[in-house]
Amino acid sequence: MVYGLRYYFRHVGKTDLAIKLPSLKKESTLPVILNRSELKSLFKAPKLLKHRIILTLIYSAGLRRQEAVNLKIADIDFERKTIHIRQSKYLKDRIVPLSSYMALGLRKYLAAERPHIYLFNGKEPDGRYSLEGLGWVMHEARKNADISKKINLHSLRHSYATHLLEEGVNIVTVKELLGHADVTTTMIYLHVARLDVIKAHSPLDTLYKEAL
């Protein structure tokens, strides 16, 4: 409401009234991360292959939920092991790696379900899977996996980024994989990632390590 009033006052030329409105304080919270055991339980929980595949794919490629339902079969390149995400947030395309393990699951899913055009067909007018349906799949999987953490679909993306950092992928690469416009957005994962602490040293010592 406050932001709406600010916009209105500026639009009608009453900037002084917009400035006098109270500032909004946003709570700073860290993303909820699923550990590896929880992820395995979550991916195993759905009865339908389609549901297992879509949840696993979101984590394996760090997808936003909209990106997952927008994926087309042609966006998956099994030979090059890539996923082409088209016109996502900020109207940008990006390429992310296709996990070899995920590729096996996708081939099995495609052979069994034979979707048309979109990778995950649903009841939307254009044939896509609905966001509401996807949210339901996540809710049921969390419940059946008996996970007590308050998680949603975006928690899979959070977990993807955090686990990449923990496995040694540099933050700039993680930024590009996530499709963030600014690296400061990605830096929040540094607060939840369990990273090895390297003792401060001079790079000269590692340059001539063999001579010591």
Q: How far apart are CA 3 and CA 23, in angstroms?
A: 9
The count of other CB atoms within 10 Å of the CB of residue 39 is 21
- Angle, CA of 48, 53 and 55, to the nearest 5°: 100
Please indicate whether residue 109 is annotated as part of the active site. Answer: no
Task: Tell me which residue of 161, 182, 179 sits closest to 67, measured CA to CA.
Answer: 179
Which residue out of 6, 72, 94, 154 is catalytically annotated?
Answer: 154
- Residue spans of alpha helices (H) in 23-152: 36-44, 49-61, 65-70, 100-113, 131-144
Please indicate whether residue 158 is annotated as part of the active site. Answer: no
Please indicate whether residue 201 is annotated as part of the active site. Answer: no
Which residue out of 128, 142, 157, 175 is catalytically annotated?
Answer: 157
Please indicate whether residue 157 is annotated as part of the active site. Answer: yes
Q: How far apart are CA 77 and CA 80, in angstroms?
A: 6
Are 182 and 57 within 8 A, CB to CB? no
Which residue out of 59, 109, 160, 189 is catalytically annotated?
Answer: 189
Which residue out of 81, 89, 107, 123 is catalytically annotated?
Answer: 89
Which residue out of 51, 52, 59, 64 is catalytically annotated?
Answer: 64
Please indicate whether residue 64 is annotated as part of the active site. Answer: yes
Please indicate whether residue 89 is annotated as part of the active site. Answer: yes
Annotated catalytic residues are 64, 89, 154, 157, 180, 189
